[in-house]
Amino acid sequence: MGRENRIEKRFVVRGRVQGVGFRWFVQHAAASLGIAGWVRNCGDGSVEIMAAGPAEDISRLRGRLWQGPSYSRIDAVEQSDGEPVAGGDFRIVH
């Protein structure tokens, strides 16, 4: 992946997204798309994602965030510019 094609986005997903396997779902989806970054639970009940990769793949990931795992309920997916992501893997952070 060329640096010129790589973008960074931050997502905050709101709804029933904690305690339903959402972080694992995001990690699996991002890894299957070759996206680098991380996912974590937030104190307000949301889930935050920092993702870096080609714009098309980031768009695909955003679509998957709206799907979520079977027991989740997605009320909102907020998107903003992200920060540079170190490394090439996608991980769950605490």
Look up the CATH number of the domain holding residue 35: 3.30.70.100
pLDDT at 92: 97
- Asked about 41 being catalytic, the answer comes back as yes
Given the residues 41, 60, 62, 64, select the one marked as catalytic: 41
Do residues 46 and 17 touch, judged by C-beta distance below 8 A?
Answer: yes
- Asked about 40 being catalytic, the answer comes back as no
Q: Which of 57, 47, 56 is nearest to 77 (CA)?
A: 47
pLDDT at 3: 55
Residue 9 domain flag: no
Q: Domain total for the chain?
A: 1
Position 30, amino acid: A
DSSP E strand boundaries for the chain = 6-16, 36-41, 47-54, 73-81, 90-92
pLDDT at 4: 58
Say what the pTM is.
0.93
Domain containing 65 equals: 14-84
For the chain, 94 residues long, the average pLDDT of each consecutive 10-residue run is 77 98 98 97 98 96 97 98 89 94
